[in-house]
């Protein structure tokens, strides 16, 4: 077991998986949170262990505070510390506002925004005792600029950005840094069914979608490489918005 532990939510695939692997390469033991796909989570754990650090999968629903509290308590009991938290888990339930029902609104707010509150609460207590820690919240460019069909998602991501800045101000004196990454279009399961991809590509200065590894590099910068950046939102979007 190493001296350093990172908890990554939604780490069985996509951006979360890439972040978990990147942090493992930096020598962190990794807690791989996942919602349902045990096989994918086990594969992530296996790939991380191959890098020479410890990894363990914890199945819990980040939108359920009881589930979160029970599992974070188990993690803290076993490992005694949490150095990095990546609040990555997220979903989309897109629809035009006029058609958006409460179920779609609540599902996205609960999974993408309330989850960050639920997970950060017990984790920050541990970080405060350690007098050190880094949190990175996975926002989105649409949380800054808005997007048609994503009133729920952009509200949740904008909320995460406000949450990031407030926590950074509250926790800086305890040597806990809190930042956000705002990805643009990244090739993952979340975006695989997007229509009119060519139209989106025309809007991106670099004319290509990003990879989960592009986001993981930014997460590593904020969580590991720097010690004097807090309260920031790093847009990683290939120049989608300049
Ligand atoms: P993905 O759909 O491939 O992965 C999402 C992960 O979150 C999965 O591992 C899923 O199991 C997990 N998850 C969902 N609900 C959960 C719950 N209730 N409890 C625990 N885990 C849960 O999507 P992707 O693209 O990897 O997204 C990761 C994050 O990046 C999300 O927060 C997303 O909003 C954000 N993002 C993605 C962009 C993209 O273009 N792919 C752009 C901007 C932000």
Does the predicted model carry a pTM greater than 0.85? yes
Range of the domain at 222: 5-236
Nearest atom of ligand 1 to the alpha carbon of 64: 18
Q: Is 153 a catalytic residue?
A: yes
Question: 196 pLDDT band (50/70/90 cuts)?
Answer: confident
CA of 173 to the centre of ligand 1 (A): 31
Distance 91 CA to ligand 1 centre (A): 5
For ligand 1, whether the C-beta of 238 sits within 6 Å is no
Is 2 a residue whose pLDDT tops 70?
no
Backbone phi, psi, residue 30, to 5°: -125, 130
Ligand 1 pocket: which of 9, 16, 116 to mutate (most atoms within 8 A of CB):
16
Query: In the structure encoding, which two tokens stand for residue 70, read together?
Result: 């029970």
Q: Is residue 242 part of a domain?
A: no
Task: Quote the strand ranges of 41-155, DSSP E.
Answer: 55-59, 84-87, 133-138
Q: Does residue 39 fall inside a structural domain?
A: yes
% of the chain residues with pLDDT over 90: 95
Active-site residue among 34, 118, 153, 228? 153
pLDDT at 195: 83
In a domain? residue 241: no
Q: Is 44 within a domain?
A: yes
Q: Domains in the chain: how many in total?
A: 1
**Rounded mean pLDDT of 151-172?**
98
CA atoms within 13 A on the CB side of 48: 33
pLDDT at 210: 98
* CATH code, domain with 105: 3.40.50.720
Domain-located, residue 87: yes
């Amino acid at each position: 077991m190493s001296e350093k532990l990172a908890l990554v939510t939604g780490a069985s695939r996509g951006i979360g998986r890439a972040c978990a692997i990147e942090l493992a390469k930096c020598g962190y033991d990794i807690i791989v949170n996942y919602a349902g796909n045990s096989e994918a989570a086990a594969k992530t754990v296996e790939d991380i262990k191959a890098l020479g650090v410890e990894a363990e999968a914890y199945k819990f629903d980040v939108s359920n505070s009881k589930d979160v509290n029970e599992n974070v308590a188990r993690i803290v009991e076993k490992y005694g510390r949490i150095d990095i938290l990546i609040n990555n888990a997220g979903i989309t339930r897109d629809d035009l506002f006029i058609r958006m029902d409460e179920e779609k609104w609540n599902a996205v707010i609960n999974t993408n925004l309330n989850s960050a509150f639920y997970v950060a609460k017990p984790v920050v207590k541990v970080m405060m005792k350690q007098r050190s820690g880094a949190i990175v919240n996975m926002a989105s460019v649409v949380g800054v600029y808005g997007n048609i069909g994503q009133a729920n998602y952009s509200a949740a991501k904008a909320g995460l950005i406000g949450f990031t800045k407030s926590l950074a101000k509250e926790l800086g004196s305890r040597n806990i840094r809190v930042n956000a990454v705002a990805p643009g279009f990244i090739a993952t399961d979340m975006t695989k069914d997007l229509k009119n991809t060519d139209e989106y590509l025309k809007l991106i200065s670099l004319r290509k979608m990003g990879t989960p590894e592009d986001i993981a590099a930014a997460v590593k910068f904020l969580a590991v490489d720097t010690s004097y950046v807090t309260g920031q939102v790093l847009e990683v979007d290939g120049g989608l918005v300049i």
